[in-house]
Structure 1
């Protein structure tokens, strides 16, 4: 009797972007392992169900991945595919990040029906965003802006803009490109001007820590540069105690053999903001992230973070 081909089940959210990411990983896995059978296990997470409140008030981006992790722990799936910007710094006991794919454009995209650039927005314009990180940096640039919560999948957010609910909205460029909606982008923010979310543009794969077989299968998809950069960014945010209540941005890239990390932390009103950069050898990624965090804490970010933790509103 012939044995069945090896199989791998991917837990994924049901949004079009999440399904695209899961299908992309499935295709990459099938290409790397020609005898591997890969199937998707779509599910709806709590973060998908609660759309009338900001992420900061309902528990953060981890709400998008909890059910996926439960499915893996219960044996209903083998891996979960995430946008790394949604993955909290602390992994649940028994779970591990197994691989990260090459990074897509990490920038934030400005989208408007009437205004060509961010600078063209009229006084007191209404801008839709669900991110305190973006809110902090946008308010630092334009204190007059009225920032309104924007939740839902990419298509829902674009529809709300088209209906006239906002003068402009800010979305991740990577998601728009993956959904072939890049033509909706009016312009992209410079990475230094609006520092991206930690892990933005990177697709990550999570599995059980004791599942060596699955880790070996997914290792073929790992991109070393994306892994190192993401490790630096995540160490930076983790040392700062980053959460959805902490407007933290971090972006690393490898240039000429050096890993360069830029970071930002600020108040949601944009009145208090700390920026910095650190660099070093890529293999020291986590140490670079910790170094930058310590530098910003020494500059005065510590008291701000304490206030945000005690009074997230």
Structure 2
């Protein structure tokens, strides 16, 4: 008899594509697995106006509801974009059972119709509006393009591009509107998942814009005591991505970063060695600290802890504290 696994996911096009990939890999690894996708409309999906901070950050907006269904036994597993999972807090009863191989981790620039990358470069963004909801991307945008106006911009990946093309205004929680946007900063992996990679006008290098912790990694979470599901998920786990996830998320743990903290981190593995770079910015992009270290690839958390502590020694705690909502 086939083993049935119910995987919870958001309703967005990208989330469904990611969950579909998990299902394909599970059934390819074991023909006796029957995967059912259970769709959730999370608070972050139903409210396309408010800043995510009002829902407890990305964790409260996109993760909490699906996690609760796993804890209650309604689901055997949950799909998350790793960058949406809070890294500064424990989730008793849950564990990451698998991470898929990492998709391209970088950020890209998407331009409205009629605006070329040459025009953008000449102006350095002066007089233009860049839309993003990520405080990290906003901080880096202000650092790279001091004369640009960064505006709050919400929606799934395909929705944001549609709003950009239609010159739609973005509603704000207090009823005001901003926009329309001239450009968006988005994750390359997300655009590829929804079939919009052709809209990429420019790809930021890792040195220009360090990715969010876990960006490009799909994680599958399950109950810590559900050994059958953990065994099944281990069959699709990518050990390189999992080690990178452990190292990068350890930085968040050490820094006790919150959803309004512009924190970035990215790691790579070459043979038996792992390298990790992480940064902390203030929201204006004016204050910027960075730390890079390398170490044994089989001790990722130790490396993440060392990088996090170095950032604290350089003053990260003060920047993070000043960014906390009052």
Note whether the superposition's TM-score is higher than 0.5.
Answer: yes
User: Does residue 7 of the first structure (1) align with residue 22 of the second (2)?
Assistant: no
Query: How many correspondences in the alignment?
Result: 308
Deviations 1:10-65 (A, max 9, x none): 11111111111111101100000111111111111111112112213431011201
What's the TM-score, normalizing by structure 2?
A: 0.91
Where does the alignment leave 5 or more consecutive residues of structure 1 unmatched? none
Q: Which residue of 1 aligns with 2:68?
A: 70
> 3-state DSSP class of the match of 2:126?
coil
Residues 170/211 of structure 1: CA separation in 2 closer, same or farther (3 Å cut): same
> 3-state DSSP class of the match of 1:98?
strand
CA contact (8 A) 2:210 2:264 kept: yes
Question: How far 1:300 moved relative to its partner?
Answer: 1.7
Q: How does 1:284-303 map to 2 (within 5 A)?
A: 284-303=299-318
Question: How far 1:119 moved relative to its partner?
Answer: 3.2
Q: Which residue of 2 aligns with 1:87?
A: 85
Structure-2 separation of matches of 1:234 and 1:5: 35
Q: Which residue of 2 aligns with 1:105?
A: 104
Question: How far 1:255 moved relative to its partner?
Answer: 2.1
> What is the root-mean-square deviation in Å for CA atoms of aligned residues?
1.4
Q: Which residue of 2 aligns with 1:26?
A: 23
Q: Which residue of 1 aligns with 2:116?
A: 115
Q: How does 1:39-188 map to 2 (within 5 A)?
A: 39-62=36-59, 63-89=61-87, 90-113=89-112, 114-116=115-117, 119-120=121-122, 121-164=124-167, 165-188=180-203
Structure-1 separation of matches of 2:24 and 2:267: 27
Q: Which residue of 2 aligns with 1:234?
A: 249
Structure-2 separation of matches of 1:143 and 1:23: 40
Point out 4+ residue stretches in structure 1 off by more than 2 angstroms: 117-122
Structure-2 separation of matches of 1:91 and 1:106: 25
Q: Which residue of 1 aligns with 2:173?
A: none
Structure-2 separation of matches of 1:189 and 1:204: 24
Q: Choose which of 237, 257, 274 in structure 1 pairs with 2:272.
A: 257
Structure-2 separation of matches of 1:199 and 1:273: 20
> 3-state DSSP class of the match of 1:151?
coil
Q: Which residue of 2 aligns with 1:203?
A: 218
> 3-state DSSP class of the match of 1:197?
coil
Question: How far 1:138 moved relative to its partner?
Answer: 1.3
Question: How far 1:115 moved relative to its partner?
Answer: 2.8
Structure-1 separation of matches of 2:70 and 2:271: 39
Deviations 1:171-191 (A, max 9, x none): 110011122211111111001
Structure-2 separation of matches of 1:55 and 1:171: 16
Structure-1 separation of matches of 2:301 and 2:27: 32
CA contact (8 A) 2:6 2:36 kept: yes
Structure-2 separation of matches of 1:274 and 1:190: 18
Q: How does 1:277-288 map to 2 (within 5 A)?
A: 277-288=292-303
CA contact (8 A) 2:77 2:222 kept: yes
> 3-state DSSP class of the match of 1:233?
helix
Where does the alignment leave 5 or more consecutive residues of structure 2 unmatched? 168-179
> 3-state DSSP class of the match of 1:37?
strand
Q: Which residue of 2 aligns with 1:248?
A: 263
What's the TM-score, normalizing by structure 1?
A: 0.95
CA contact (8 A) 2:272 2:298 kept: no
Structure-1 separation of matches of 2:323 and 2:64: 24
Structure-1 separation of matches of 2:12 and 2:317: 37
Structure-1 separation of matches of 2:251 and 2:317: 13
Structure-2 separation of matches of 1:66 and 1:301: 27
